[in-house]
Chain A
Amino acid sequence: MVASLTKRFGDLDIAEEAAAEAFATAVERWPADGVPPNPGAWLTTTASRKAIDRIRRENKRGDKHKEAQLLHDDPPEPLGAIGDERLRLIFTCCHPALAMETRVALTLRMVAGLTVPEIARAFVVQETAMEKRITRAKAKIKAARIPYRVPSAEDLPARVVGVLTVLFLVFNEGYLATGPDTDPVRHDLTAEAIRLTRLIRALMPDDGEVAGLLALMLMTEARSTARVSGSGELITLAEQDRGTWDAALVAEGHRLVRERLAARVAPGRYQILAAISAVHTSARDVRDTDWSQVVALYDQLVHLDPSPIIALNRAIAVAELDGPEVALAAIDDLEDRLAGYHAYHAARADLLRRLGRSQQSRAAYDNAIELAGNTAETAYLTRRRDQLG
């Protein structure tokens, strides 16, 4: 609804406020008056009226012509158009003129509907700072006239890259939520990220990276119930009960990966990550994992993306093929770049443990625990460290 209001009034702030007021009115009146026959239409009409009222109040120049335009009642939008509205909103929130952290915050607020406190917690910043970031972003959209539309066909390939990055960040925040008091897995976010990626896929059904990202999300989401124990501790891939994985999501993920392989187009990073995930989710038991395939895929990925995190993940796979000693040597090279990353220390800790170097392993676990931001991960790392004896 916020999306369609934004389209009509061209102002995110007004749309948001009007929507909130309409909901508040509904909560007040519907228990007494009864729910109207078409609640969606009632909400939209009420919100539109409130938006018009606000525009009137703010309209110092008394632009009568514009006012008359706004009062013209558009016919109710068919259901298919709601998807189009959401797409417009996503591409606007993910505009390249906005900083990446701003795009993510704006998307979480305007598209996923998170509250400012929730977003602030996820980014580990003060609420006031997050509020400012979002307010400034909306102000820039208005002042610089960032257009509210889906990019043209020729611009779409370049623009979609930015959107996929944001959606992946939203998904990751849901899958491994940050914050000492946050639920470690947030299904509302992962579900939203998947919904939005499906929308992008409907817009660009032949795009390999969109398919790759969707596949990656589906296969990751498939494992979500197996990921956190009853006591709130993270369960690693090796220890998960694979019987609890969602077979339908895994199957859809595999289908998408096969589709991309058949396309015979050089894969981008999401397609490779999806292929790696497919190798893992194809194994009935962790011991059946085709690790040489995993390493081969990471070799491809390293060519595309020289990020130290990819190198770290590759080394973890190498440990399964060539042993922990070789992997540790590869990881030590990454020290200066990954010293602040908890997963680096966690990986080192695990390899040192396997090599029987308990004291060094304990120190590495301590580092990891200090840097970890997710409650389930912290619990898992603490247990592993304490098991060292």
Chain B
Amino acid sequence: MQYLVSVIDDTAGLATPDEMAAIDAFNDRLEAEGHWVFAGGLAAPSSATVIDNRRGEAIFTDGPFVESKEYLAGLWVIEAADLDVALKLAAEGSKACNRKVEVRPFQ
């Protein structure tokens, strides 16, 4: 079963070199143990664009979909047999990237 592990940030900075090293080590482990599906760090929220194309003409808005102190900084998609496995991995991920994470199952 797949889970989305979203990295939640509330600071302006990107990952420090130490954090990057820990993240790389963590990613290697995910791959080696068969949990890796996908992962990536996101550029700042200011680089985002929102598109609403529900009614005829597409409307473009500059910036993230919600202006808030906390924002999405990156994500992992992992494969885990159950929530216990997913939570253990996500806990390590949170420690590695030194930020809060949210674990959510895919449908």
Is residue B84 contacting chain A, with contact meaning CB distance below 8 A? yes
Which of B81, B84, B105, B107 has the most C-beta atoms of chain A within 10 angstroms of its own C-beta?
Answer: B84
Q: Output the least CB separation between B97 and chain A (Å).
A: 20
Is residue B87 contacting chain A, with contact meaning CB distance below 8 A? yes
Is residue B82 contacting chain A, with contact meaning CB distance below 8 A? yes
Size of interface on B: residues with Cβ below 8 Å to A: 11
Q: Mark A136-167, 1 if CB is under 8 A from B, else 0.
A: 00000001111100010001000000000000
B105 touches A144 (CB 8 A): yes
Query: Contact partner of B83 among A145, A151, A155, CB < 8 A?
Result: A145
A151 to B84, CA, bound (A): 9
Cβ < 8 Å to A, chain B residues 47-102: 81-84, 86-87
A147 to B82, CA, bound (A): 6
A96 to B84, CA, bound (A): 10
In the complex, which residues of chain A have a beta carbon less than 8 angstroms from the beta carbon of B81? 145, 147
Cβ < 8 Å to B, chain A residues 42-83: none
In the complex, which residues of chain B have a beta carbon less than 8 angstroms from the beta carbon of A151? 84
Q: Mark A91-121, 1 if CB is under 8 A from B, else 0.
A: 0000111000000000000000000000000
In the complex, which residues of chain A have a beta carbon less than 8 angstroms from the beta carbon of B37? none
A146 to B84, CA, bound (A): 7
In the complex, which residues of chain A have a beta carbon less than 8 angstroms from the beta carbon of B105? 143-145
A198 to B91, CA, bound (A): 32
Is residue B1 contacting chain A, with contact meaning CB distance below 8 A? yes
In the complex, which residues of chain B have a beta carbon less than 8 angstroms from the beta carbon of A96? 87
A97 to B104, CA, bound (A): 11
A194 to B81, CA, bound (A): 34
In the complex, which residues of chain A have a beta carbon less than 8 angstroms from the beta carbon of B83? 95, 97, 144-147
B82 touches A145 (CB 8 A): yes
Query: Contact partner of A147 among B84, B103, B104, B107, CB < 8 A?
Result: B84
A145 touches B87 (CB 8 A): no
A155 to B84, CA, bound (A): 10
Q: Output the least CB separation between B41 and chain A (Å).
A: 25
Q: Output the least CB separation between B60 and chain A (Å).
A: 33
In the complex, which residues of chain A have a beta carbon less than 8 angstroms from the beta carbon of B87? 96-97
A237 to B99, CA, bound (A): 50
Which of A96, A143, A144, A147 has the most C-beta atoms of chain B within 10 angstroms of its own C-beta?
Answer: A144
A144 to B87, CA, bound (A): 10
In the complex, which residues of chain A have a beta carbon less than 8 angstroms from the beta carbon of B1? 145
**CB closest residue in chain A, given B1:** A145
Q: Output the least CB separation between A113 and chain B (Å).
A: 25
**CB closest residue in chain B, given A97:** B83
**CB closest residue in chain B, given A95:** B83
Q: Output the least CB separation between B92 and chain A (Å).
A: 15
Q: Output the least CB separation between A136 and chain B (Å).
A: 14
Q: Output the least CB separation between A111 and chain B (Å).
A: 20
Q: Output the least CB separation between A147 and chain B (Å).
A: 4
**CB closest residue in chain A, given B84:** A147
Q: Output the least CB separation between B38 and chain A (Å).
A: 19
A123 to B56, CA, bound (A): 50
A53 to B58, CA, bound (A): 48
Closest 7 CB pairs of A and B: A147-B82, A145-B82, A144-B105, A144-B83, A146-B83, A145-B83, A143-B105
List 9 contacting pairs A-B, 8 Å CB cutoff, sorted by A.
Answer: A95-B83, A97-B87, A143-B107, A144-B105, A145-B105, A146-B82, A146-B83, A146-B84, A151-B84
Q: Which residues of A line the B interface, CB within 8 A?
A: 95-97, 143-147, 151, 155
Extra pairs beyond A144-B86, A145-B1 (15, CB < 8 Å): A95-B83, A97-B83, A97-B87, A143-B105, A143-B107, A144-B83, A144-B103, A144-B104, A145-B83, A145-B105, A146-B82, A146-B84, A147-B84, A151-B84, A155-B84
